[in-house]
């Protein structure tokens, strides 16, 4: 007998909806949002001008193929635009890639403290998530390869990872890829790649050129400061692009986003300024927080993960409440299996200094 109401697929009901970083701090005079890894520099002024200009033609459908944006990205990175697909944020693309390659009975692999969207995308596609332990809050290639089974269709790695800020050097990414069967899709989520200034890191685009089963995703939400407009892009083999193009929304990137994205990708000075700001203040924050006796995981992204004792009055929850009361909104990361840590986005000078001052008071016990 048919049920008397609609019944979602069982894997859909296993999903816990993603909870974004808090934006408010009730009672605080002024709020500094350091909970969603947004850039303190804002978008390029050229992107803002292009966005305003787009207001003149809102009645028109956008170019569903995002051709000019793909060409602009291709020029910036020396890539074939045919191998690029744009999405409504890279979250859109992570879902589309999972839907294209994972189905009932298939498995998708990601790591213990990996980005939560992978779990959601795998379950939404009908697959089963397989969560792999990490070592020192870093993806462990041997453990990932050991978890791969004949049912594995996809492996997601954020490199650098959010919320830990740790990364895999290119040699480890190659070793991971070499251990996967050629039909298993390896998604390299490079949302923070532009921020990384390590010699042993690579942006993965060359690797994706050489291997049909590697897909690299990028976003305009982080270093380009266009999170509100929702623009992401994926670079991969034509087989992957073709699959995603079949199932994506026909106009998944809106017209204003296309124009702003084209302007943003061309503003290299703005990106370089963001990298310089981030390098300076991330090292400052890491040093200052460590000096307070709190453990900080070394980060290559635009955020730092700090760890608190699991003791009443000194815990991450207590620190979060203490900071929030002063309008300093950080991110709790219990949902990532890190109940004793807080993630802080590298902000502008003022909030960075305010957080360190507040943490100094907190640690000294001046509650
Ligand atoms: C922020 C973030 C993204 C970007 O998401 P968008 O949908 O492009 O805004 C992707 N992956 C990770 C790991 C992130 O932290």
Residue at a domain's end among 267, 291, 306: 267
Q: Number of folded domains in the chain?
A: 2
Of all protein residues, the one whose alpha carbon is nearest to atom 11 of ligand 1 is 191
Quick one: what percent of the chain has pLDDT higher than 70? 99
Find the CATH number of the domain harbouring 34. Answer: 3.90.1150.10
Tell whether ligand 1 has an atom less than 6 A from the beta carbon of residue 35. no
Residue 94 sits at the vertex; the CA angle it makes with 242 and 111, to the nearest 5 degrees, is 130
Structure confidence at residue 268 (pLDDT): 98
Whether residues 16 and 55 share a domain: the answer is: no
Structure confidence by residue, pLDDT tens digits, 293-346: 999 999 999 999 999 999 999 999 999 999 999 999 999 999 999 999 999 999
Atom of ligand 1 nearest to the CA of 220: 8
| 113 and 196 within one domain | yes
Cα of 219 from ligand 1 centre, angstroms: 7
Write out the residue range of the structural domain in which residue 96 sits.
45-267
Are the C-beta atoms of residues 351 and 32 closer than 8 Å to each other?
A: yes
CA distance linking residue 272 with residue 222, whole number of Å:
13
3-state secondary structure of 250: coil
Q: Ligand 1 centroid to 7 CA: how many Å?
A: 30
Q: Is 38 in the pocket of ligand 1 (CB under 6 A)?
A: no
Q: What is the pLDDT of residues 42-72, one digit of tens each?
A: 999 999 999 999 999 999 999 999 999 999 9
Confidence of residue 26 (pLDDT cuts 50, 70, 90): confident
pLDDT per position as a tens digit, 259-275:
999 999 999 999 999 99
For residues 284 and 325, membership in a common domain is answered with: yes
Statement to judge: residues 35 and 158 lie in one domain: no
**How many A from CA of 120 to the centre of ligand 1?**
13
pTM of the model: 0.96
Nearest partner of 135 among 105, 100, 172, judged by Cα: 172
Distance 16 CA to ligand 1 centre (A): 18
């Amino acid at each position: 007998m048919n049920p008397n109401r609609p019944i979602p697929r069982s894997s859909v009901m296993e999903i816990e909806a993603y909870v974004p970083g808090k934006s408010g701090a009730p009672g605080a005079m002024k709020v500094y949002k350091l909970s969603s890894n947004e850039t303190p520099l804002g978008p390029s002024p050229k992107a803002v001008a292009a966005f305003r200009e787009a207001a003149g033609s809102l009645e028109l459908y956008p170019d569903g193929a995002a051709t000019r944006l793909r060409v602009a990205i291709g020029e910036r990175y020396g890539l074939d635009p045919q191998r690029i697909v744009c999405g409504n944020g890279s979250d859109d693309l992570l879902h589309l890639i999972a839907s294209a390659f994972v189905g009932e009975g298939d498995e998708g692999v990601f790591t213990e403290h990996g980005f939560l969207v992978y779990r959601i995308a795998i379950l939404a596609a009908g697959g089963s998530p397989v969560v792999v332990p990490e070592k020192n809050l870093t993806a462990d290639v041997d453990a990932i390869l050991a978890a791969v089974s004949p049912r594995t269709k996809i492996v997601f790695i954020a490199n650098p990872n959010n919320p830990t800020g740790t990364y895999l050097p290119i040699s480890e990414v190659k070793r991971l890829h070499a251990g996967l069967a050629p039909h298993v899709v390896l998604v390299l989520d490079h949302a923070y790649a532009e921020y990384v200034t390590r010699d042993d890191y690579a942006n993965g685009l060359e690797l994706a050129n050489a291997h049909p089963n590697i897909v690299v995703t990028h976003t305009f939400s982080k270093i380009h400061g266009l999170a509100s407009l929702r623009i992401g892009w994926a670079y991969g083999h034509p087989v992957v692009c073709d699959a995603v193009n079949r199932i994506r929304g026909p106009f998944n990137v809106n017209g204003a986003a296309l124009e702003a994205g084209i302007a943003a990708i061309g503003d290299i000075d703005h990106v370089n300024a963001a990298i310089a700001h981030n390098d300076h203040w991330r090292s400052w924050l890491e040093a200052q927080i460590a000096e307070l006796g709190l453990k900080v995981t070394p980060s290559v992204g635009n955020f730092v993960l700090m760890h608190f004792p699991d003791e009443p009055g000194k815990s991450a929850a207590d620190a979060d409440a203490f900071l929030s009361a002063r309008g300093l909104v950080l991110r709790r990361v219990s949902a990532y299996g890190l109940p004793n840590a807080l993630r802080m986005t590298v902000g502008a000078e003022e909030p960075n200094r305010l957080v360190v001052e507040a943490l100094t008071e907190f640690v000294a016990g001046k509650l």
